[in-house]
Amino acid sequence: MNRLLAKTRSLSYIFTGFLPFWFFLLLFKFGGGLHYSLISPLGEKFFPLWLVGILMGGCSVVQLLLDVPAGHLLDRFGYLRFLKITTAIFLIAALSLTLGLTKITYLLSLLFSIFGWLFFGPGLNAYVLSHAPRESAGRFMSVRDVFGSIGVVLSSAALPIVLTQTPQMMGAVIFFLLLISLFFLFFSPKDHTSVHAEQKLPTQHHYIRRQFILTTLRAMKRLNPASGMLLLVSLSSSIFYGCIWFVVPLIIAHQASAGLLGLGLGIFDFSIVVLGFLLGNLADRSDKRALIFFGLLLFSISGMLLGFNFGWLFLLFGFLATSGDEMASISLWSWLHSLDHEHASDGVVASVITLFQDLGWAIGPMLAGVAYTLVGPSLTIVIGSIPVLLTWVVYQFVVRKHGRRHISFSLLPAKPHRARHKT
């Protein structure tokens, strides 16, 4: 029995036992990331950029509104089954582009991509957590983050090449990647339990946002100011990344020498996978109040500088911006954890925080679509970083209002990974 338990906890078992599923994840993120990156360059061929931004943001809003019924369907009919369904729907989105780029095929591809992404994030998290023993849930989620980030890096690196191809070829490449990912799903371990059977990660939101409003408000109020700050950081950072993923593909499409920016898109998420352990140790050993202060400051300043450097410095400032983001985020989760003595509302709080992330991903492209036309790409990125700077300003007032005696920090708890790309 102990030997079996040790096996399930081992990293090699997590890697090899679920290898087909990890390949599915990598290829889905590869193909899906390419599709999301192509929305703004392809959309500008038919629509004004402000409308393209609304369309992109509107997709996130629709997904947000359908999230609860999607969660019910996943619970009732199985996680793996709906991952197959959502991938098959995404195949239709890719197939639409192979018919030739018109207003109709563009909008059809956008429509089907909504449902292609709808079950992916929640289904992925629920599937992984349903298989993960409580003791190794964190390792399972870490492997998930690594493979997902590799897929994003590959899609970002391939974007400059794909943008030189015809729309039919773009659709064919995405279709091929998603088709192979669907193939791997059929060889992945089957569902064997509901994610609700056991709470695996206290602060992992899974995908469920079904709590009553009063219960949610009570929990958020009880955990203030940490919960309020996490909401602001989640919202402002998602607005920033939403602007980045709208603007950078346009720059790559317009400038033949901007191929390096493809790697720049992947640096935001992959740097956190690489630095996660180091930042976690730093948060455990250092003054977390200072980490939040300098993390948000580094995030906002580096984010602003990103807009004026589209060469190698873009990679550097992108790395620094995301490092500052994660530095502040880890410390805020630790603060929240220390305030929540009962841990009866972990899922509620994490779900609301994720809701604000989704709102940011809706606002970001809309903001970028309007700003890009008016002030150009550089100032659009600067504008996208202003909410982060305002969050840093708010934090100064929060610290002053609550004083040092109210800000005690615990050791770093398990926290949900926040993607810096479309999920």
Q: Are 399 and 228 in contact (CB under 8 A)?
A: no
Inform me whether the pLDDT recorded for 386 exceeds 90. yes
The 10 Å Cβ neighbour count of residue 117 is 22
- The yes-or-no verdict on residue 11 having pLDDT over 70 is no
φ/ψ region of 247 (left if φ > 0, alpha if ψ in -120 to 50, else beta) reads alpha
| Residue 197 predicted with pLDDT over 60 | no
**Of 48-57, 168-177, 374-383, 391-400, which range is least confident?**
391-400
The number of beta carbons lying within 10 Å of the beta carbon of residue 77 is 12
Task: Work out the pLDDT band at 264, boundaries 50, 70, 90.
Answer: confident
- The pLDDT tens digits of the residues spanning 299-342 come to 999 999 988 877 788 888 888 888 888 888 877 777 766 665 55
Question: Which of 115-119, 125-129, 204-208, 374-378 has the weakest average pLDDT?
Answer: 204-208
What is the model's pLDDT at position 1? Answer: 43
Give the pLDDT of residue 144: 78
Which band of pLDDT confidence, cut at 50, 70 and 90, is reported for residue 207? very low
Q: Taking CA 145 as the corner, what is the angle to CA 141 and CA 148, rounded to the nearest 5 degrees?
A: 130
Provide mean pLDDT across the span 364-387: 93
Query: Of the ranges 60-69, 104-113, 326-335, 392-401, which is most confident?
Result: 104-113
Residue 23 has a pLDDT of: 93
What are the CB-based long-range contacts (under 8 Å, 24+) for 249-252?
A: 249/37, 249/38, 249/39, 249/40, 249/41, 249/159, 249/163, 250/40, 250/41, 250/44, 250/49, 250/372, 250/377, 251/310, 251/377, 252/41, 252/159, 252/160, 252/163
Query: Would you say residue 212 has pLDDT above 50?
Result: no
Cα gap 107→97, rounded to integer Å: 10
Q: How many CB atoms sit inside 10 A of residue 217's CB?
A: 13
Mean of all residue pLDDT scores within the chain: 78
Residue 74: band (very low, low, confident or very high) from pLDDT cuts 50, 70, 90:
confident
Q: Is the pLDDT of residue 122 over 70?
A: yes
Highest mean pLDDT: which range of 10-24, 40-54, 125-139: 40-54
Query: Which single residue is written with the structure tokens 């582009």?
Result: 97
Measure Cα distances from 317 to 44, 320, 322 in Å: 27, 5, 8
CA distance 229 to 234: 8
Range in 64-68, 88-92, 366-370 the model is least confident about: 64-68
Quote the CA–CA distance of 52 and 39 in Å, as a whole number.
Answer: 8
- Three-class DSSP category at 410: coil
pLDDT band at 412 (very low <50, low <70, confident <90, very high): very low
H helices then E strands: how many in the chain? 15, 0
Confidence of residue 292 (pLDDT cuts 50, 70, 90): confident
Work out the pLDDT band at 220, boundaries 50, 70, 90: low
